[in-house]
Structure 1
């Protein structure tokens, strides 16, 4: 049917869109202040989820002591939580496309707070492990959705700086949590208050979400606008483009839920980038098991001081955030200005290349300066370099996937979250045996060699990505 056909023109007139290119209802046209506030609120949701993930690592020795189990078994509470991170994205990523970002964040985060309360009051190990797993499933919603939500209202030019905030929240939560968790667990409050703290933080953020978090999905906003216009005008043919999509359960299961897994299986870019991101993310959680070995067992520090080196990782991520922000504001923005406001996804890779070179170096420094006769400061330098490299790799990977798969950005981020969560669940379980059996020096050397091998991925895509 041609576009000149009267029926076609009539049908096109029934499609609801924005009133004008400058319509402020369009998230892309929101005032900058509203965009920044929304970014910060989305970031805080993410930080609650990741904070709860690693605070358990500090309390696990006390749980092991109370329930008379080994430290490796107690760490299952961390790994099961991260395993939930792998399951949740397959549900919440596509669901946010159908029902909107706002409800798909608020409801799961409220349920997550309930599971955290159940962990805090648990009287046996089974309850702890079950509630940690389902808490991880629920809290994965902002970790999955926020990357795509930022693409809803930030342009390609400005998105890199926004992702810096998101990435810092992902890293800031788990690097601060072990220090806070160790201090709480050592005090009269006991380890249960690490979970109560998660409940308090999460419920505070959920209340802020209910009051201030706007819907960011254009498809959902236009669908809501179409519903309102149908009621106001009585023109029942009015509809949004999103309402033309088949939302049946079979379509949701076969097409939408499976899309992240299909991308992992069929897209080399998604598979390799998410594998590299997954390894670096798993290392972040592996450090929570390795740092007590390096500083508490090896150097004889007390539990709370032995948790403080986690802050070196945080310092590294702040340095990486500054590098990423400078690259986005100066080099990337200048490229877009000179190329008609467009840039290929491969222009996101230079920070990842820097991280890929520094990543193994950080491991080698951390491992071979860990002897008790050597001052602890060089080991902190190694941790700082590892933390910096992690964020350079992690953030560039997210930007690369969003730019490469803009229309399916949420599904690409869901695939990334799924892959990295599998690594995050597995690596902490093998870290303690590996560091005890190989020794700190050779365990760090092994990790550095793996990091060096994977470090070729950004250089590969920089050269052949467009092809």
Structure 2
């Protein structure tokens, strides 16, 4: 496992430029472990600050609404969730660009964009401007969510990706939980605008670090650079990259560009398994943000906590994320190795899925536990512990299914994850708008029970992925080779 295919290797007599051999040190798969983990760390630090920015403003939104004399609860909610509209649009452009032109340049430009528009948020003169600037920062911040998945596919073989994805996906899951914890204290003591100034300082520092030290890992981009160099050195203009299809040679540059830029949408609508997985993750993610709409209010109004202290109520879910992440990182790759040996050394992406079945069983528990414990209400520790199973279950679902998509389409890993990111971001942005009305009508007990029954109805989905994943994946695999 983990070696490149023969068609990826150099064959100058046939005019094909590729890797020198399967041990080529220029191939990111063959980098020293220290270099691999350092490059992944660079992407991961941005991948922590970007999701952190998605929720850090949520405890401060009421302060901004007061300053702007905003009376609409929908517009006030949009100052928080509009960030996710940026997450829903940015990957459609940035992911295929990273596959065409490289992870490095796309990440550098997008994160710079992310930092600059945080300044716009800090200086926003009204609610409308704040909503627009939040959406624009979300677009820039979305690059790390998808290009990072491409970096994992570039550098790590399938039997190593579980641990790598566990490390990398810590940010997208823990960031939204950590955000309200910090945002409440900042807004309460320094004002809501300082939430964004602190993001400018933190993200600006991290972005500078990434721009200076990050390096390109995209295989097709590295081989294309090598091809251009050898065309000049060997005076052989006919040389082509091993990643360049014969069909690409006969297509116009514009036609090829448009085709490649539509990869995320083609994966979403033409790959059955990606479509089903994206919808499933989006539903769970939407439930997460619906849950987020209640936590701060519950602990402020029911338990009479201050706005800063109430952010600490997310730590139950955060603990679930951390423990679930650790278990996934320790177990996922071991399962892959064992199942591959049992399959005569042949790896199949579906070997990644058994863990998802276990993790998905924890999701419904939290809604019933948390909902009825705050409805009673019980002691404050009970609902906080009740959030733990959701955090634990979601991290396993998220990491398992994203890694499965990367295993299935390693060359288009960024676009595959973009398809998932777009759908989950739309659900995460839109479903919370219905939260206040749902909980007003049903209360915390039955409102959260409704979400519990919904996630309980989705419990069979991982079994479907496990049973029919290979059939659905192979039906359209030729389109994306």
Residue 139 of structure 2 corresponds to residue 134 of structure 1: no
Residue 282 of structure 2 corresponds to residue 281 of structure 1: no
**Of 275, 296, 299, the match for 2:303:** 299
Residue 207 of structure 2 corresponds to residue 202 of structure 1: no
Q: Which runs of 5+ in 2 are unaligned?
A: 1-9, 472-481
Relative to structure 1, the CA distance from residue 332 to residue 132 in structure 2 (aligned partners, 3 Å threshold; closer, same or farther) is: same
Residue 242 of structure 2 corresponds to residue 241 of structure 1: yes
**Of 373, 376, 379, the match for 1:375:** 379
Residues 309-361 of structure 1: CA distance to partner in whole angstroms, max 9, x if unpaired?
A: 11111100011112212322432222234434433222212221122211111
Q: Tell me the SS of whatever aligns to 1:370.
A: helix
Shift of 1:230: 3.2
Q: Which runs of 5+ in 1 are unaligned?
A: 1-8
Aligned residues of 1:317 and 1:391 also touching (Cα < 8 A)? yes
Relative to structure 1, the CA distance from residue 66 to residue 341 in structure 2 (aligned partners, 3 Å threshold; closer, same or farther) is: farther
Shift of 1:400: 1.7
Residue 427 of structure 2 corresponds to residue 420 of structure 1: no
Relative to structure 1, the CA distance from residue 17 to residue 55 in structure 2 (aligned partners, 3 Å threshold; closer, same or farther) is: same
* Counterpart position of 1:164: 166
* Counterpart position of 2:230: 229
* Counterpart position of 2:153: 151
* Counterpart position of 1:123: 125
Residue 399 of structure 2 corresponds to residue 395 of structure 1: yes
Residue 332 of structure 2 corresponds to residue 332 of structure 1: no
Give the TM-score normalised by the residue count of structure 2.
0.90
Residue 369 of structure 2 corresponds to residue 359 of structure 1: no
| Cα distance between partner residues in 2 of 1:205 and 1:80 | 23
Q: Tell me the SS of whatever aligns to 2:26.
A: coil
Aligned residues of 2:16 and 2:242 also touching (Cα < 8 A)? yes
| Cα distance between partner residues in 2 of 1:286 and 1:213 | 36
| Cα distance between partner residues in 2 of 1:131 and 1:339 | 51
Shift of 1:436: 2.5
* Counterpart position of 1:53: 54
How many residues align? The count is 457
Relative to structure 1, the CA distance from residue 341 to residue 318 in structure 2 (aligned partners, 3 Å threshold; closer, same or farther) is: farther
**Of 95, 98, 122, the match for 1:96:** 98
| Cα distance between partner residues in 2 of 1:40 and 1:114 | 23
* Counterpart position of 2:21: 20
Aligned residues of 1:45 and 1:142 also touching (Cα < 8 A)? yes
Relative to structure 1, the CA distance from residue 248 to residue 427 in structure 2 (aligned partners, 3 Å threshold; closer, same or farther) is: same
* Counterpart position of 1:323: 327
| Cα distance between partner residues in 1 of 2:234 and 2:256 | 31
Residues 409-447 of structure 1: CA distance to partner in whole angstroms, max 9, x if unpaired?
A: 222111101111111111222222222221111111011
* Counterpart position of 1:4: none
* Counterpart position of 1:447: 451
Aligned residues of 2:335 and 2:352 also touching (Cα < 8 A)? no
Aligned residues of 1:178 and 1:288 also touching (Cα < 8 A)? no
Shift of 1:208: 1.4
Residues 225-268 of structure 1: CA distance to partner in whole angstroms, max 9, x if unpaired?
A: 22223344443333323456357233322x22323222222322
Aligned residues of 2:100 and 2:260 also touching (Cα < 8 A)? no
The Cα RMSD (Å) is 1.9
Aligned residues of 1:72 and 1:432 also touching (Cα < 8 A)? no
Shift of 1:10: 9.3
| Cα distance between partner residues in 1 of 2:184 and 2:252 | 47
Shift of 1:212: 1.4
Q: Which moved more, 1:325-334 or 1:43-52?
A: 325-334
Shift of 1:11: 7.0
Aligned residues of 1:280 and 1:394 also touching (Cα < 8 A)? no
Shift of 1:12: 4.4
Residue 192 of structure 2 corresponds to residue 191 of structure 1: yes
Aligned residues of 1:157 and 1:336 also touching (Cα < 8 A)? no
Residue 347 of structure 2 corresponds to residue 346 of structure 1: no
Q: Tell me the SS of whatever aligns to 1:439.
A: helix
Residues 73-101 of structure 1: CA distance to partner in whole angstroms, max 9, x if unpaired?
A: 21202221101111111101111111000
* Counterpart position of 1:109: 111
| Cα distance between partner residues in 2 of 1:272 and 1:450 | 16
Residue 385 of structure 2 corresponds to residue 384 of structure 1: no
Aligned residues of 2:167 and 2:329 also touching (Cα < 8 A)? no
Residues 174-197 of structure 1: CA distance to partner in whole angstroms, max 9, x if unpaired?
A: 11111111100001x211111112
Residues 353-406 of structure 1: CA distance to partner in whole angstroms, max 9, x if unpaired?
A: 122211111111111111454112221121111111111111111012122223
